[in-house]
Amino acid sequence: MPSKYWSGLVDQLDPYVPGEQPKQLDLIKLNTNENPYPPSPKVLEALSKDAIDNLRLYPDPANAQLKQAIAKHYDISEQQVIVGNGSDEVLAFAFQAFFKQDKPLLFPDITYGFYTVYCGLFDIDYVELPLADDFSINLDDYLQPNGGIIFPNPNAPTGIGMELSVIEELLKSNTETVVIVDEAYVDFGSESATALIDRYPNVLVIQTLSKSRSLAGARVGFAVGSAELIEGMERVKNSFNPYSLDRVAELAATVAIEDREYFNDCCNKIIATREWTTAQLEVLGFEVIPSKTNFVMAKPPQMSAEAMFKALREENIIVRYFSKARIDEYLRVSIGSDEEMQQFIAAVKRILSAS
Amino acid sequence: MPSKYWSGLVDQLDPYVPGEQPKQLDLIKLNTNENPYPPSPKVLEALSKDAIDNLRLYPDPANAQLKQAIAKHYDISEQQVIVGNGSDEVLAFAFQAFFKQDKPLLFPDITYGFYTVYCGLFDIDYVELPLADDFSINLDDYLQPNGGIIFPNPNAPTGIGMELSVIEELLKSNTETVVIVDEAYVDFGSESATALIDRYPNVLVIQTLSKSRSLAGARVGFAVGSAELIEGMERVKNSFNPYSLDRVAELAATVAIEDREYFNDCCNKIIATREWTTAQLEVLGFEVIPSKTNFVMAKPPQMSAEAMFKALREENIIVRYFSKARIDEYLRVSIGSDEEMQQFIAAVKRILSAS
């Protein structure tokens, strides 16, 4: 019930509903696209007694250490990087910095659920453009008057990746508004649009350390783009929460970015497990959308996705089900460890046999 | 220079300027009100290998563990608590949730510099009410039509605390809009308005773990108030960044709240050092505003505050100087360890002798 003390906006908000975080310990948790492997062992090493004692001091509001690590990783300058408290905060700053325009923001109708929430919070007009029949994004649809464009690559929850050349075609035609490529899942087999930021001043690439760097619990995201886009976002950030990244998160993120070998190993293991899982599901009669992420969208045979979701839950396996038109026939299954996915496939076999 | 890609708001923003965070290591740093003592030793103990490995998992978006600890500390219910990424984020959520009204927000003309920044970001009208000649807040001035009221208790950067009974008088008269008491420094000798939240549904109390719990680097703040105020803020938070508190920050904060003995010891030591510092400065001819915080505002004899600020910097001691009318005759000096304050006083003596 609305309160007389709230600003008018508050009771109109439609807040984001995160995937369930159950307390049950013996659950196989394949519902929120977390990484099955722990963060780089160098993270634990870095958290010395001194690092913890220094929690008494404010962080560096410029986050120079982490920006340097990211700039080095992508061979760009620190002025082309902004970091924040998870890619959700970075996205929020970007929506506020760029998308409050006379014309509507454009994004896919099936995509990250937070985009419409930010539009509600910041009073941004938007138009959702339908995915093609095969769930792919057709960027030609975006060649229309707009106040900005945002899409994930690969898209979520479909898992489909786009070629970088296709994104570049859009950028050649759409030069007057900001185009955000949301790359939460890019490290599992797609090409990053970071390669385009020197040539297109209006492209912003947002990434997270939650997936490929196993740091969902540390809340670190970043954006890279032209210095003028980054400056606009810094202005918003410094009007909201200049110190949003804490000392431990910045340290953990820096070490994780620098440990490329561990990062590559984890990503390669997850890609291999994803391909094995996809093949197993197809043998069982699932329709699996080709994934470039650490999850698969799969449509079960014999029974509805919702029935399969409930049956898996009975087996102590939790996956994600979206009760939304078109994708309500699919389950989104995060890629866990090999052992977890073997248990998942075994459970699916039991469920299909019993039905 | 504004960019054509920015939302109209962005080039009008006047971002907050945090206190300098110098890289120089041999500096005595008395400029940002950090705690000279490390966080509770139980924080380091809590950061086990398991806790770090679990960074691969998202935090609990409900932050139940930390809310329970705070609720227990103040003997209130968890529905009366919201936590966030530093009290700056908590303040930002509160401004957005409550203060976008037809009438202006009221706050003191000399106070925390971020209030005007939030008003700029969220397009909130405000009126700044002058402090009295002795720098105290006169709450009778606030008995006028308003869209909300906010003030720190104790106020910053003056350090002056108010009696709780005075705040309660305001709440008895001002029942239709939200009154925020910003208690960043309350643990150094003031009474908390948390005692009033069960009786006044429109009072919100905001606290931080940055000062009295030595966790400036962990970025944890919280608010307590009626369930209806907290729900309004949760709606804003969950439309912006539901997971803004990372796992390590939540764990550190929980342990720090629970370790009351260490907390009381630190606060008592800082209060004793503050009183010693005040007495020493008065002997040297400074005018010191009576402080209830972990800093003192002091007006030097013989020379301007700005000249003293520069001379101290030459001695590798950094304090805070505000070039703002009325307080530009004062320096704000954070209370460090006994040894740091002895060195500070010794440096002041040298500077005054040489002038």
**Interchain pair B56, A35: CB under 8 A:** yes
- Mutation for B interface: A248, A259, A263, most B CBs within 10 A: A248
Which residues in chain B have Cβ-Cβ distances shorter than 8 Å to A43?
A: 52, 55
Q: Has residue A23 got a pLDDT over 90?
A: no
| pLDDT band at residue A104 using 50, 70 and 90 as cut-offs | very high
Which residues in chain B have Cβ-Cβ distances shorter than 8 Å to A18?
A: 58, 61, 242-243
Average pLDDT for consecutive 10-residue bins of chain B (355 residues)? 91 82 84 97 95 96 96 97 98 97 98 96 97 96 98 97 97 98 98 97 98 98 98 96 95 98 98 98 98 98 97 96 94 98 98 95
- Shortest distance between the Cα of B312 and any Cα of chain A, in A, equals 21
Mean pLDDT confidence for A329-353: 98
Nearest CB to B49; choose among A9, A44, A248: A44
In angstroms, rounded to a whole number, what is the distance separating the alpha carbons of residues B152 and B193?
Answer: 11
**Interchain pair A242, B21: CB under 8 A:** no
**Interchain pair A7, B98: CB under 8 A:** yes
Residue B71 in 3-state DSSP?
helix
Query: Residue A355: its pLDDT value, please?
Result: 87
Nearest CB to B214; choose among A44, A55, A178: A55
**Residue B81, amino acid:** V
Which pair of structure tokens corresponds to residue A66?
């982490």
Q: Has residue A2 got a pLDDT over 90?
A: no
Of the ranges A23-27, A122-126, A244-248, B133-137, which one carries the lowest mean pLDDT score? A23-27
Query: Residue B26: its pLDDT value, please?
Result: 84
Q: In the A/B pair of chains, how many CB contacts fall below 8 A?
A: 260
pLDDT digits (tens, 9 = 90+) for A32-87: 999 999 999 999 999 999 999 999 999 998 999 999 999 999 999 999 999 999 99
Nearest CB to A47; choose among B52, B86, B244: B52
In angstroms, rounded to a whole number, what is the distance separating the alpha carbons of residues B87 and B94?
Answer: 10
| pLDDT band at residue A21 using 50, 70 and 90 as cut-offs | confident
In angstroms, rounded to a whole number, what is the distance separating the alpha carbons of residues A256 and A213?
Answer: 6
In angstroms, rounded to a whole number, what is the distance separating the alpha carbons of residues B305 and B157?
Answer: 15
**Interchain pair A56, B36: CB under 8 A:** yes
In angstroms, rounded to a whole number, what is the distance separating the alpha carbons of residues A205 and A201?
Answer: 11
Residue A28 in 3-state DSSP?
strand
Close Cβ partners of B42 (under 8 Å, ≥ 6 residues apart): B255, B256, B258, B259, B262
Nearest CB to B55; choose among A9, A54, A214: A214
| CB atoms closer than 10 angstroms to residue A109 | 12
Which pair of structure tokens corresponds to residue B184?
């960043």
| pLDDT band at residue A135 using 50, 70 and 90 as cut-offs | very high
Tell me which residue of A244, A155, A246, A252 sits closest to A213, measured CA to CA: A252
- Shortest distance between the Cα of A216 and any Cα of chain B, in A, equals 5
pLDDT digits (tens, 9 = 90+) for A141-183: 999 999 999 999 999 999 999 999 999 999 999 999 999 999 9
Mean pLDDT confidence for A209-213: 98
CB A224 within 8 A of CB A184: no
Mean pLDDT confidence for A207-219: 98
> What letters, b where the CB count within 10 A reaches 16 and e where it falls short, cover A206-230?
bbbbbbbbbbbbbbbbbbbbbbbbb
> What letters, b where the CB count within 10 A reaches 16 and e where it falls short, cover B128-162?
ebebeeebbbebeebeeebbbbbbbbbbbbbbbbb
Domains, in order of start, for chain A: 25-38+261-354 (3.90.1150.10), 41-258 (3.40.640.10)
In angstroms, rounded to a whole number, what is the distance separating the alpha carbons of residues B288 and B269?
Answer: 20
Helix (H) or strand (E) holding A43: helix A41-46
